[in-house]
Amino acid sequence: MASTIATMTRRILITLFAVSGICIFLRLYAHIGLYDVVEVFDGDTIAVAMAGRVEKVRLIGVDTPETKDPRKPVQCYGPEASAFSHSKLDRAKVRLVSDPLSTNRDRYDRLLRYVYLQDGTLYNKQLLSTGNARTYTGFAFSKSQEFVVAETQSKQQNTGLWQRCT
């Protein structure tokens, strides 16, 4: 009986040490895979420092009102959506994730990615849930249903562009 208790205690201690070690490792190396945002062009396009160069990144599945397209006038809620993006992404560190249903780059040679903030928030979805974007359905992506739900809830709550631009 005493040896059984000692064996169980030993196993529990080994497990606790292993879990503690993993937690410490994750905390120390959580920054790996994060990229510095060096420019926010508008609500749905950013630039990040990556592998010694700057890459333009188009956020998958979202379309914010235009503010920078010289062929189009500034759209309703464009300045607000752009300001929201600046408030969240200027000098931020982000994690970029591709989508298996999407191409790697768009026709303008921008990387197509989901953008996660350091706290784990999926920024693409946050744009939709705060009324700063519409779901972009110009190409297939795996989170399309999730994004449509976020946009629908934002519409129902009359948030952001849905309050001012409908």
| 53-59/111-117 β-pairing | parallel
C-alpha to C-alpha distance for 158 and 112, rounded to whole angstroms: 29
pLDDT value of residue 164: 81
pLDDT value of residue 20: 61
Q: What are phi and psi of 105, to 5 degrees?
A: -135, 155
Q: Please give the model's pTM, rounded to 2 decimal places.
A: 0.79
pLDDT value of residue 146: 98
Active site residue ranges = 58, 66, 110
- In order, the DSSP letters of 4-18 are HHHHHHHHHHHHHHH
The fold of the 34-164 domain, in CATH, is OB fold (Dihydrolipoamide Acetyltransferase, E2P) (2.40.50)
The answer to whether residues 105 and 33 touch, using CB atoms and an 8 Å cutoff, is: no
Strands (E), the chain: 34-42, 45-50, 53-59, 62-63, 93-97, 111-117, 134-135
pLDDT value of residue 16: 65
Domain boundaries, the chain: 1-30, 34-164
Low-confidence residues of the chain: pLDDT under 70 = 1-3, 13, 16-32, 166
Strands (E), 92-162: 93-97, 111-117, 134-135
Q: Please state, in angstroms and as integers, the Cα–Cα distance from residue 32 to each residue in 98, 100, 140, following that order.
A: 16, 22, 29
